[in-house]
Structure 1
Amino acid sequence: MNGLPPPGRLRLMTWNIHGGIGPDRRFDLDRIASLVAKHAPDVLALQEIDTRGRDIDCLAPLRGLDIHHFTEARTIAVPDGHYGHALFSRWPTSDVVLHDLSVWRYEPRIAIETQIATPFGPLHLVAVHLGLFIFERRRQAGMLAAMARRVRGMPTVMMGDFNDWFSFGQVTRTMSHVLPERTRLRTFPAQKPALRLDRVYCSAPGMLADAFTDPAARAISDHLPIIVDLALPARGNAVPAEPAEAGHVDSDTARTGGVIDDPEPAESR
């Protein structure tokens, strides 16, 4: 499925781009940008953006996507570049916060939280790239659930690479209490997808009008993207949530600038 989303829908896309390096071991953000542009997302989350060892101008194809409001989370910054993930929005964002999800001395992890002023009402959105280890994700999932509980009267979407290897893993079990609807698409490894590492979670049933992947991404990254057509609930019908505290860090790097897959086992729902 290509082109614009149906009338009255928002199109979201999340994709781990593997540093811009495809299975041919070639760095090429032009082909990343071309595939993204084909689906015309209103909101785009990209993981594993990597400029280390390259000129910063290497990101020009991403800046040319015509999705103007931009927030990045640089989880690794070194003299010759940086590594992390980013969120692009067609509409203005506000209340941008970078939440530090890092656990001990393992790879730093940051969640991007914001509110997006869509034509259909405000959307609370969090973009993530979670840790590789179960105990990391257990703590990170708890922090994400707290972010969802804190927001009242506004639909919430969390999307990205959750690295939750098991369909009934800790992330899903924790988040299903506050974000009951999610995608179930296999995205990794791209050549023969077996695992649902990349997901979109929503706060209300019926928000996921459609969800699909693009097999053409097999030639570009080790993950397939998830593209979602989202139906926001009518104002006043957003799932209420309880307030909760969530640790965060403010950062100078934050700037505003298909087909649903086969069902999971019953115990994972």
Structure 2
Amino acid sequence: MRLVTFNIQHGLGPDGRCDRERLADAVRSLDPDVLALQEVDRYQPRSRFADQARICAEAMGAVDHRYVPTVAGWMSAPGLRWRARGRERYPAYGIALASRFPVRAWRRWRLPMASRWIGPAQLGVDEPRAAVAAELETPSGGVTVCATHLSSRLGNAWAQLPWLRDALGAAPRPLVLMGDLNLRDEAPVTVTRWRAAATAPTFPVGRPRFQIDHILVDDDGATPVDGESRAVDTGLSDHRALVADVRLA
């Protein structure tokens, strides 16, 4: 099973443009079975009003996907607000999870925050954060995969990861957590005590110096395939996509 987490930075290319086909081609090139996405636009002017989660899901041949808005409203406008369940046609920005395997159940969470976000021009505060999990039915059995994007403020991120670890305590195992955790290198393993399925620097994209995108595995039922993890420059975003192949017992 190929797992991929990718902060797409709303599909921004090096030329400063967002192109639907270029985003779809990037996802196809990664060939994920399960894909976690962060910084995903829906119906935003800057990304040409695209539903980016749907574009990525269709490109990989997903049978199911969920988009979870963390911010609703125009990204260029002040006064953006949290919406746990934005209306389908409401402009938004958030995270997504897509799967080629059937999904038995979905669950989502709003992560705790130490501050309230009001608008992009306000410094020192942070945007809302969320997580979404799917219980998947694969040919080798069930697996739970959770996608998230933790705070870029270290105080929030350090609190959010153990909170999410505990929230996932009752989830069926094996369990995989994927996303832009905004915690460097070995920090997520130290906090969760889970194993890293992929180890490679992911940020910044051109000459990555550290890893803030992670794929973590809890339970021996999911084993990373040695030598198959890597960070991929897709030609989009300021992050590299992180790829790991995992074998289910």
Q: Same fold (TM over 0.5)?
A: yes
Aligned residue for 2:107?
97
- Shift of residue 133 of structure 1? 1.2
- Shift of residue 68 of structure 1? 2.3
When normalised by structure 2's length, the TM-score is 0.80
Name the aligned partner's letter for residue 36 of structure 1: V
Superposed, 1:154-233 pairs within 5 Å as 154-164=173-183, 166-169=184-187, 171-176=188-193, 179-204=194-219, 207-209=223-225, 210-215=228-233, 217=234, 219-233=235-249
Between the aligned partners of 2:30 and 2:50, the Cα distance in structure 1 is: 24
Paired positions, count? 217
Segments of structure 1 that go 5 or more residues without pairing to the other structure are 1-9, 234-269
Is the CA contact (8 Å cut-off) linking 2:3 and 2:33 kept in structure 1?
A: yes
TM-aligned CA distance change 1:231 to 1:63, over 3 Å? closer
Aligned residue for 1:43?
34
Aligned residue for 1:69?
64
Is the CA contact (8 Å cut-off) linking 1:92 and 1:116 kept in structure 2?
A: yes
Is the CA contact (8 Å cut-off) linking 1:47 and 1:84 kept in structure 2?
A: yes
When normalised by structure 1's length, the TM-score is 0.74
Q: Which deviates more, 143-152 or 55-64? A: 55-64
Name the aligned partner's letter for residue 222 of structure 1: D
Superposed, 1:112-151 pairs within 5 Å as 112-151=132-171
Q: CA RMSD in A?
A: 2.0
TM-aligned CA distance change 1:181 to 1:31, over 3 Å? same
Name the aligned partner's letter for residue 72 of structure 1: Y
Aligned residue for 1:86?
96
Is the CA contact (8 Å cut-off) linking 1:29 and 1:58 kept in structure 2?
A: no
TM-aligned CA distance change 1:42 to 1:144, over 3 Å? same
The one of the two structures with greater contact order (alpha-carbon pairs below 8 A, sep at least 6) is 1
The ranges of structure 1 where at least 4 consecutive aligned residues each deviate by more than 3 angstroms after the TM superposition are 54-61
Is the CA contact (8 Å cut-off) linking 2:189 and 2:216 kept in structure 1?
A: no
